[in-house]
Amino acid sequence: MRALDYIRAGSIEQAVNTHSKSQTAFFLAGGTTLLDLVKLDVMQADQVIDVNRLSLKQIEVQKDGSVRIGALVTNTALAHHPYIVEHYPVLSQALLSGATTQLRNKATTAGNVMQRVRCNYFRDGYSPCNKREPGSGCAAIEGHNRGVHAVLGTSDQCIATHPSDMCVALSAIGARIEVQGAKGKRSIDFLDFHLLPGSTPWKEHALQDDELITHVLLDAPLANSKSGYLKLRDRASYQFALASSAVILVMHGTTVGEVRIAMGGVGTRPWRALEAEHALKGVTLTPHNMEKAAAIALQGAKPYRHNAYKIALGQQAIVRNLSTLTA
């Protein structure tokens, strides 16, 4: 492990200004991903800026029912907050399905949003990987690509899935990312935050180099809605999704009034299934219509040598979730 400088920021402005003066600095909060990757020499930091003393640990319910979440709120605190449990069960369930209790106690909201992929070829430090070493290639395309590799949003440069459960729920809920940089503050729609790999897979998000996430703002909950998160994986603990779904549903009798569907484990970013939502809205929620919408959600999927099963599994994740919510 290489030597690095440690700086404890006393304010957002200090953190941002310090970061803007360095090409190899990283913000440190919970560190549950960053420190692993620094130890593996995958992320080569000469300087870490500790932001844990900043006043970003509040969960604030707004007058319109929306929620403003500080970047340093832990996954545990967010998952168990009474308002989140009551009005955003999909988010609470998604958070509690990830990692372990010990990791959730340390992991932060912004860190979860920013976490890196779990592709073995990215993390091993020597295999060709365009995320780690632009232009080197993607070993996963012809390699072992069963678990943490995508069938949606891939390119010939990268096929790694985005690993976050929380971000799948946020994609369904609707959210904005509030950031602050040397040029001031701005807000980014959550669906625009994570980037498709395309020809530049090393560009994973819409942040500028010097920007710090300060808050996540959730859209107000849909009135009279039910929601749930379903995660399908090899084992029930400490495992990333092979396929998952976050569903928010408003029913008018047997007819769908409003529906939001997002998917994890199958896409290179948290995947909002907008066309599937459109297919369900205003129709009777029959098994046939659920299956039809699930098929639409996975249309255009591109399977690789070991992960073709994810197309059927992703469809099952949607149908099972919808069925559970209307049981």
Q: Judge whether 129 lies within some domain.
A: no
- 143 domain-assigned: no
pLDDT per position as a tens digit, 219-278: 999 999 999 999 999 998 889 999 999 999 999 999 999 999 999 999 999 999 999 999
- Using CA atoms of 320, 312, 163, 120 in order, give the dihedral in degrees to the nearest 10: 150
Q: How far is CA 74 from CA 85, 122, 162, in A?
A: 15, 26, 20
CA–CA separation, 92 vs 84, rounded Å?
6
Task: State residue 1's pLDDT score.
Answer: 57
Distance CA 245, CA 267 (A): 11
Residue 21 lies in a domain: yes
pLDDT class of 114 with cuts at 50, 70, 90 = very high
Of the candidates 126, 108, 133, 317, the one whose C-alpha atom is nearest the C-alpha of residue 233 is: 317
pLDDT for position 167: 98
Closest Cα partner for 1 from 31, 32, 45?
45
Q: Could you tell me which residue, 209 or 211, shows the higher pLDDT?
A: 211
- The mean pLDDT of 43-61, rounded to a whole number, is 95
* Interstrand relation of 59-61 and 184-189 (parallel, antiparallel or unpaired): unpaired
Residue 20 lies in a domain: yes
Is this prediction's pTM over 0.95? Answer: yes
Structural domain tally of the chain? 2
Give pLDDT tens digits for 27-40.
Answer: 999 999 998 999 89
Question: How would DSSP label each residue in 268-314?
Answer: SS-EE-HHHHHHHTTSB--HHHHHHHHHHHTTT----TTTTHHHHHH
* CA 242 – CA 102 distance, rounded (Å): 23
Asked, for residue 136, whether it belongs to a domain, the answer is no
- Single out the residue in 10, 34, 52 at which a domain terminates: 52
Measured distance CA(89)–CA(297) in Å, rounded? 22
Question: CB–CB of 213/113 below 8 Å?
Answer: yes
Say if 86 falls within a structural domain. no
Which token pair is 78?
């967010």
pLDDT band at 3 (very low <50, low <70, confident <90, very high): confident
CA–CA dist 265, 267 (Å, integer)? 6
Domain with 292 in it: 226-325
Answer whether residue 250 is part of any domain: yes
Contact (Cβ atoms closer than 8 angstroms) between residue 233 and residue 317: no
Domain with residue 315: its CATH number is 3.30.390.50
Using CA atoms, how far apart are residues 36 and 17, in angstroms rounded to an integer? 25
Last residue of a domain, one of 30, 52, 74: 52
Q: Is residue 214 part of a domain?
A: no
68-111 pLDDT, tens digit per residue, is 999 999 999 999 999 999 999 999 999 999 999 999 999 999 99
Please name the residues in contact with 257: beta carbons below 8 A apart, sequence gap of 6 or more: 250, 251, 281, 282
CATH number of the domain bearing residue 30: 3.30.43.10
- Inform me whether the pLDDT recorded for 303 exceeds 60: yes
Round to whole Å and give the CA distance between 35 and 79.
Answer: 23
- For the stretch 115-140, pLDDT in tens is 999 999 999 999 999 999 999 999 99
- What percent of the chain has pLDDT above 70? 100
Q: Mean pLDDT score of the chain, rounded to an integer?
A: 97
How sure is the predictor about 154, in pLDDT bands with cuts at 50, 70 and 90? very high
Q: How far apart are the two ends of the chain, measured CA to CA in Å?
A: 53
Alpha-carbon distance 15 to 8, whole Å? 8
pLDDT of residue 45: 85
Pairing of strands 212-218, 255-264: unpaired
Q: Is pLDDT of 22 > 90?
A: no
- Choose one of 9, 37, 52: the last residue of a domain: 52
